Structure 1
């Protein structure tokens, strides 16, 4: 009730302010008529996909902005008075509908006039029903105020084919606003339609015949993928991230995850709900990210992400999760070191041979950058402060070749680096050095199999900087014991501008672990080999 009252008061205010603005504009209307004929349209949208589709179709004929700030929640966001005045003075306001934006319908009803076109983009689209059958049964408390979508799933933009319909509705609105540009709008729409259809084909081809078809998510936003691609979301929360399941439902999710050997939990780009974290810990799952694409984050904007790039990243993450089933916890007890500097690894006989560097060329497969995705910390600070001394003592006790002091000296050269943190998100790699960050996009440059003097071998997975940027290496090379696609538990990174020279480097291998691990956890992992 308070939300409705606040919105109503804002609406009254913007009507008054907009009327004043219109009165002032009327006096100059005749003089500016010819000049205004060539002015670009001013359009506001709610969720980012509507902004993206509108801009792609309108081209340079419109200025298009989303009213949602970076990282905000479209379920709960409330526009400011200033934004509402700007909307009232625009040429068009486009919102999704289907219960997604509680404020949008009331605002649109209040600012209807001959001067502004209002489009509920999802209206007329066959919306997917929200089926309460994946661990959400009996959730009587799920319909929190302001977050209840009813029985329709409003996240229609996550389906590329349904997005074609959204885009077509937008195109029709643009033609109404500027009929003279109908040919250009239609041409741009057809190009966008083609891109969306190709995206749909990529989802179909990559998700077919994978070992898994179920995945755990922290927000039940992905029902359209179930319908389109035959996969099933197990939602930890209801349709809004704030709708937490009951204890009974939580137990049901964990039981189902274990039953189907699910070893990944998807969090969204701007939230990590506590309940989802409980599930992750209970089933020993790896954390992956899905982007609901509703709102860009600051990092997305910095990285110049688009609807298409984010959806393709989602596809990569889905493929990774659905390609693997849970097979045990041996990865957590591996010796955290690379065969470049001669440490061993637990596991079955074949895995042990590969880890030790004995494998056939035919066993080596290319790997995507997403295998190393995440937020990583250098182990060098733990070396410097003495945290890793326990590891060196342990190694010395297991070997007669080197003392603990000699091991520490050896790793001083190996681990040393001033890049204390690396974040890998999609194709973007961000290096953190001396309090500053440098980021760029990297693309695969294949791999190289290296032979070592002691008789074993290793594989370097190589990525090249797409566009030269000051302060960024042209090449980065990963080594982490694995020779085919798998999520890295740690890695050793070589970087520089000379591809071949890096391949010759075997004594300096800055090493990185997940940033959420403590020094003691890293020590424990290193000693369990």
Structure 2
């Protein structure tokens, strides 16, 4: 079935490229980059600077777990110099997509999460990066400590694609690396003082953040935000919230807050935003929000909830 799907996609891509020519939005003289989610887009823009033309596939306000590529996305990615995807199972369509774009052009594909020790779907750390068919937690960027590895992978990709401007990419990467290290230190110091370490979140997106800063997440939904919990799960979480003195249930902007609101009301606690940074809302984009401003707000909200 998969071979047939890949063949169909290859045929469709051939037709598209022959019909459209260069309809990819590429900019001549720049390194043209396609990314799949906002954090990768942001890191690529910061490292690429004015040498790069970076396009993100998932639009503002769209939940990436629900997104699938269209024919125009195949065209755009296949005609880029770099295609940067998160990996770790986030892009469920990648196994079919990658062979197609590689056949349609001379594009380098970069798995940004490569080199990060992954967490499996049950919250346990896996051995090495390969998950061998198991469901992994793909939300690697949610920890500044893991984001350091992702930024390095993206920098190396720019240097490989455009070695003559290596010094520029290295300089911009060094600036980004310093900011990520400072953010890592803020999280480590800012979360170290609290006796309570439990956070209740709307979906299981914060495993790397919790691992790196000593927290424990209790998730209403699974790794995908549309994984509905059972009634008994909600009752168990409500009991846990009450018995452990948890004051806050976190929700996120790109996913309905219905379950978080219901659980908070039943348990008699408040709600706050903990942003998994899978994408910006149009309002955040317009306001000039970015990875760092949202992560700083996440830290502030975590501190309020843990008090």
Q: Return the TM-score normalized by structure 1.
A: 0.53
Q: Secondary structure at the match of 2:136?
A: coil
Q: Relative to 1, partners in 2 of residues 1:5 and 1:240: Cα closer, same or farther, differing over 3 Å?
A: farther
- Which whole-Å CA distance do the structure 1 matches of 2:116 and 2:287 have between them? 32
The alpha carbon displacement at 1:103 in A equals: 1.6
Partner of 1:449: none
Partner of 1:43: 33
Partner of 2:210: 226
Q: How does 1:116-515 map to 2 (within 5 A)?
A: 116-131=107-122, 150-323=134-307
Q: Relative to 1, partners in 2 of residues 1:249 and 1:62: Cα closer, same or farther, differing over 3 Å?
A: same
The alpha carbon displacement at 1:11 in A equals: 4.5
Q: Relative to 1, partners in 2 of residues 1:132 and 1:188: Cα closer, same or farther, differing over 3 Å?
A: closer
- Higher relative contact order by CA 8 Å / sep ≥ 6: 1 or 2? 2
Q: Relative to 1, partners in 2 of residues 1:170 and 1:9: Cα closer, same or farther, differing over 3 Å?
A: same
| Cα deviations by residue, 1:41-93 (Å, 9 ceiling, x for unpaired) | 11110011101111111110001111001111211201221222122111111
The alpha carbon displacement at 1:269 in A equals: 1.6
The alpha carbon displacement at 1:158 in A equals: 0.9
| Cα deviations by residue, 1:227-271 (Å, 9 ceiling, x for unpaired) | 111111110111111112212221111111011111211001222
Q: Secondary structure at the match of 2:137?
A: coil
Partner of 1:342: none
The alpha carbon displacement at 1:123 in A equals: 2.3
| Cα deviations by residue, 1:89-109 (Å, 9 ceiling, x for unpaired) | 111111001110112332112
- Which sections of structure 2, spanning at least 5 residues, go unmatched? 125-132
- Which whole-Å CA distance do the structure 1 matches of 2:66 and 2:7 have between them? 16
- Which whole-Å CA distance do the structure 2 matches of 1:263 and 1:6 have between them? 49
- Which whole-Å CA distance do the structure 1 matches of 2:70 and 2:102 have between them? 18
The alpha carbon displacement at 1:292 in A equals: 0.8
| Cα deviations by residue, 1:148-177 (Å, 9 ceiling, x for unpaired) | x94421100011121111111111111111
**Greater per-residue strand proportion:** 1
- Which whole-Å CA distance do the structure 2 matches of 1:8 and 1:192 have between them? 40
Partner of 1:18: 17
- Which whole-Å CA distance do the structure 2 matches of 1:247 and 1:200 have between them? 37
- Which whole-Å CA distance do the structure 1 matches of 2:303 and 2:67 have between them? 32
Partner of 2:57: 67
The 8 Å contact of residues 216 and 236 in structure 1, kept in 2 or not, is answered as yes
Q: Return the TM-score normalized by structure 2.
A: 0.89
The Cα RMSD (Å) is 2.4
Q: Relative to 1, partners in 2 of residues 1:5 and 1:255: Cα closer, same or farther, differing over 3 Å?
A: farther
Q: Secondary structure at the match of 1:63?
A: strand
- The answer to whether residue 78 in structure 2 is matched with residue 88 in structure 1 is yes
- Which whole-Å CA distance do the structure 2 matches of 1:237 and 1:5 have between them? 34
- Which whole-Å CA distance do the structure 1 matches of 2:95 and 2:285 have between them? 28
Q: Secondary structure at the match of 1:112?
A: helix
The alpha carbon displacement at 1:15 in A equals: 2.9
The alpha carbon displacement at 1:17 in A equals: 2.1
The 8 Å contact of residues 125 and 162 in structure 1, kept in 2 or not, is answered as yes
The 8 Å contact of residues 14 and 81 in structure 1, kept in 2 or not, is answered as yes
Partner of 2:97: 107
The 8 Å contact of residues 221 and 229 in structure 2, kept in 1 or not, is answered as yes
The 8 Å contact of residues 160 and 196 in structure 1, kept in 2 or not, is answered as yes
The 8 Å contact of residues 74 and 100 in structure 2, kept in 1 or not, is answered as no
Q: Secondary structure at the match of 1:64?
A: strand
Q: Secondary structure at the match of 2:180?
A: helix
Q: Secondary structure at the match of 1:194?
A: helix
Q: Secondary structure at the match of 1:44?
A: strand
- Which whole-Å CA distance do the structure 2 matches of 1:11 and 1:68 have between them? 22
The alpha carbon displacement at 1:302 in A equals: 1.0
The 8 Å contact of residues 99 and 150 in structure 1, kept in 2 or not, is answered as no
- Which whole-Å CA distance do the structure 2 matches of 1:74 and 1:306 have between them? 17
- Which whole-Å CA distance do the structure 2 matches of 1:88 and 1:261 have between them? 52
- Which whole-Å CA distance do the structure 2 matches of 1:159 and 1:132 have between them? 15
| Rg (Cα) greater in structure | 1
- Which sections of structure 1, spanning at least 5 residues, go unmatched? 26-34, 134-148, 324-529
